[in-house]
A and B are shown apart, each in its own frame.
Chain A
Amino acid sequence: MRPPLRIVIVGGGTAGWMTAAAFSSVLKPEQREIHLIESSEIGIVGVGEATLPHIRFFNKRIGIDERELMAKTQATFKLGIEFVDWARLGDSYIHPFGAYGSRFSGLPFHQYWLRQQRRGDAAPIEDYSLAIVAARMGKFTLPSEDPSEVLSTFGYAFQFDASLYAAYLRVFSEARGVKRTDAKIVDVQLRGTDGWIESVKLDDGSLVTGDLFIDCSGFRGLLIEQALKTGYDEWTRWLPCDRAMAVPCENVGPLTPYTRATAREAGWQWRIPLQHRTGNGYVYSSQFISDDEAAARLLSRLDGKALADPRPLRFTAGRRRKTWNRNCVAIGLAGGFLEPLESTSIHLIQVAITTLLDYITGSNEFDPRIVEAYNRWIEMEYDRVRDFLILHYYATERNDTPIWNYCRTMDVPDSLRHKMELFRQRARVVTYKDGLFLEPSWLAVYFGQRVTPTAYDPLADALPPAELTSKLQAVRDQVHGAVAAMPRHEDFLAQYCPAQKPAMAGKS
């Protein structure tokens, strides 16, 4: 029997508590000893109030009750993200959590849709996606598990208050034996022989030793960078935004079951509706707008009354060269930063945690072969998300402000250029087995941002025209029929996971 693995988590934001919750739940008490150190004096960034459908697997794996989580975090449902003004001012499209139609006769649905469009007889592609139609109409219900039903063709995620999420996970983790210390770390002690982290020193002078140190300290990377000097690969040349202003406001109107990202003069603005308030933020490039102006613009474009002063954030898009270095794993912002345009922050935390849990053997002598395999995996995940994000900036026709002129004409990675070219030539989406964003996601952004195919797959011509027409019509009818029968998002929330009104609105 091995002694328990001593895991020290530095930082108690979303990343820290997600890690604590997962490790304490998945590993048996005799397999681990988990100690989380956070300082109540250091604010948390509270990254990512909007999530991706994968979070449901995470919840299931660690045993979180979805309804309870939603009620405790003022959560709403999310069927996708609406992108406004990205390719041209006035444009709007939804990146749905779900498919457009379904494959038939060996081809993806959109190939047939393109053929029908050429024949002048297709409705907009959005009409064939249940997630989009439901989102636009403010409807929601849980998906069906019967793959023959149209109600099985979508997934969902949550929009929640990240501070409440961390608080919820703290209770969850502490109930499973995670020890929490409220302290600041003043020093990191490295082992002389190999430079592994031996202990961290707290502001009360005490030392915390461990086998595995998980750096969830945020952008600064207290362990991974300040102590271990791991290095960082910057992606600012493709993702120029380096600051954000965040501010909550009062809810106005019905709660949309989707997040909105609106392209702005120097970046983009998010809008995330929760049960008790709406989260907003302006992600921008400091090259193109001043902090004061960004704050003023943000405040002028809120649905309702602002509930706090705008909070500034700074970051650099990129990834730590190794997110696992010696006996330290950086998770969350300490590992890398990709702007929350596609709600990937919490997802990348989740990937890091589950991959780490999948790879470790329980030994405290971390086999370098495992460390390297882990790093390759995480690198692949970040790189694939990066290409997808760049697409949003690059595939634009906007020339109204300098940031869009820069992005429209920038040099993008060859891998992305190839993907776009293949789509333009024959509407083919480059797919991969691992990593985020499958075919419907790429389709949504290509179509939504006017990357228009000049041809479709020649195999789509094999279907007789009458059959083509009836198949497409059937999908559309099924989608609209199913959505018509769905409850309104707010009504569904009220019976599924009503949250308590916060005691002091806006001070969450």
Chain B
Amino acid sequence: MNKPVSHVAVVGADSAAWIAACALRRAFRHRELAVTVVDVAEASKPRVRWTLPSQRGMHAMLGINESEFMAATGATYRLASEHRGWQGEGSRFMHAHGELGSELSGTPFYKYLLNEAIEGRAVNGDDFSVATLAARQGRFARPMGEGDALTASFTYGFHLEEAAYGEFLRQHAAKLGIKRAGGTVVDVELDGSGAVAALRLANGERLTADLYVDCSGPQAAVIGRLAANDRDDWTQWLPCDRMLSGVMPAHSSAPALTQTTATASGWLWRAPTAAHTHGGYVYCSRFLDDDGARRALSTALSGIADLRVDSLRAGRRRNPWVRNCIAIGGAAIELEPLVGAELHAAQLGISALIELFPAAAVSAVEAAEYNRITAEYGDGLRDFTLAHYRLGAARAGAFWDAVRAAPPPPRLAHKIDLFSANGRIHMYDFESFEETDWAWLFLGARLVPSALELQIRARVAQIRPEQVAPLREYVQRLVLSMPPHMEFVRRSGARSAQT
């Protein structure tokens, strides 16, 4: 099997699969790479997704116009998440897709906030962030300008409905010349070397390709046949294994905000799209059964209907690339949707595959590099998710005791340890969430370091109140100049309809 790759089969038909197909087709259009999407039976797709800002870059790469996408899919913007109750009843914090204040005295603003916290003065960081303040006030505008300008100090992700987004991507894929097979995968044929030889489809067709991209989600319809038990299990840290979801009527003044609320056995979410308000419950079946979860969710979000339950099991595949098969998205990594990174994780896989696209179908060194990079990124996403559960004051209760029972993975422990000792945030080679994201999280959880780096403290000490107050006022003025979020969404859609 040493011929060049000219045909890729993408297995699965959720948005991650369509993104993978479109991205590969676009990247290799100069060699007219053929891409076929094949559906799988019983694919479980989430109803709603909230995404990271990297989705914007992926859209640009795929040639998707943002206004068209918003209008066609009923998506809304997302500036931040608000996390309630994670460090005990009444606690709440924001994690915005943007800077936390701006640099003063050559020091990141979060260091100033840390110093205030160490000194026992509580300063609310939210007041210094355009993204959090706008999210709280239900306002939105796209970032503008460059560099250190406050108007450029934030970015955004989306709330989107999987069905509408998948359909939009399917149409986009058709325009790019991506074919769709006529039947679903029923069997995988392997050759003598253990590589995929062909896919057997329900309509009797036998589909062959040079590379097989498995986007079938947790069922891992293809790669599961090549490597069955090749998994790092994360359930000791992330034990939630059930996910209940439903819909409520749309809210005409919904903010560009995802809300989560910790409960005795997991956490609830609330996320707006143009057509609905989505809600759900991620919980651990050891501590709460499905009926109990339904009751709890209906009480918390009155009027929620059309409930559906899915299961999940946190972990990642050790080798998502085996022979001529590459698992992307849920087939490679399963993570609860807390930080909104599922499509992002798929994108990391897609980008790595494009960067390491093999000259020949079976190529060991590319697979090794792909597996190394995606493993690091995957562990980083796990750590960021897990940190929500583990930082700051512990919630009482059996579930929360269980969550904190196992020692954290070493790379997360190292990060928490160093921060706790001197306020320094250590970043590894491959991490999706950046220093500022971790700062939002550490500050939000009110994890106060026992000291600050000597040199940072010296610089922070030079910051005067008269430098800080104008920053707060400027952020407020800027946010007041933004239109309401849902009005922005409607106007953006209207603009797209005119063109």
Residues of A whose CB lies within 8 Å of any CB of B are 26-28, 31, 357-363, 367, 369-370, 372-373, 376, 418, 421-422, 425-426, 428, 430, 432-434, 455, 457-459, 461-462
Contact = CB atoms under 8 A, between A and B. Distances in A.
B354 A459 contact: yes
A176 to B, nearest CB: 16
Nearest to A357: B455
Contacts of B29: 462
A370 B452 CA distance: 11
A418 B369 CA distance: 8
A421 B372 CA distance: 14
B365 A421 contact: yes
The 10 closest A-B pairs by CB, nearest first: A361-B451, A369-B417, A362-B454, A369-B421, A462-B30, A367-B421, A373-B418, A433-B429, A421-B365, A432-B429
Interface class of chain A by DSSP: helix
Given A370-B421, A430-B369, A433-B429, 6 more contacts: A361-B453, A369-B420, A426-B356, A433-B430, A458-B359, A459-B354
A26 B421 CA distance: 21
A31 B455 CA distance: 10
B55 interface: no
A360 B356 CA distance: 41
A359 B422 contact: yes
Interface in B323-352: none
Contacts of B369: 418, 422, 428, 430
29 contacts: A27-B454, A31-B454, A357-B455, A359-B422, A362-B457, A367-B422, A370-B418, A372-B417, A373-B417, A373-B421, A373-B424, A373-B426, A418-B365, A422-B365, A422-B366, A422-B368, A425-B365, A426-B356, A426-B359, A428-B356, A433-B427, A433-B430, A455-B359, A457-B355, A457-B357, A458-B357, A458-B359, A462-B28, A462-B30
Interface in B2-31: 27-31
Given A357-B455, A367-B450, A434-B429, A459 B418 contact: no
B144 interface: no
Contacts of A28: 458
A253 to B, nearest CB: 44
**What bracket does the count of chain B residues touching chain A fall in?**
35 or more
Interface of B: 27-31, 354-357, 359, 363, 365-366, 368-369, 372, 414, 417-418, 420-422, 424, 426-430, 450-455, 457-458
B455 A358 contact: yes
A430 B372 CA distance: 11
Contact of B422 (A370, A421, A425, A458): A370
Which of A362, A425, A433, A458 neighbours the largest number of chain B CB atoms within 10 Å of its CB? A458
A373 B422 CA distance: 11
Contact of B455 (A26, A426, A432): A26
A369 B418 contact: yes
Nearest to A431: B429
A468 to B, nearest CB: 12
Nearest to A358: B453
A211 to B, nearest CB: 13
A425 B363 contact: yes
A459 B353 CA distance: 12
A418 B450 contact: no
Contacts of B427: 433
A363 B29 CA distance: 60
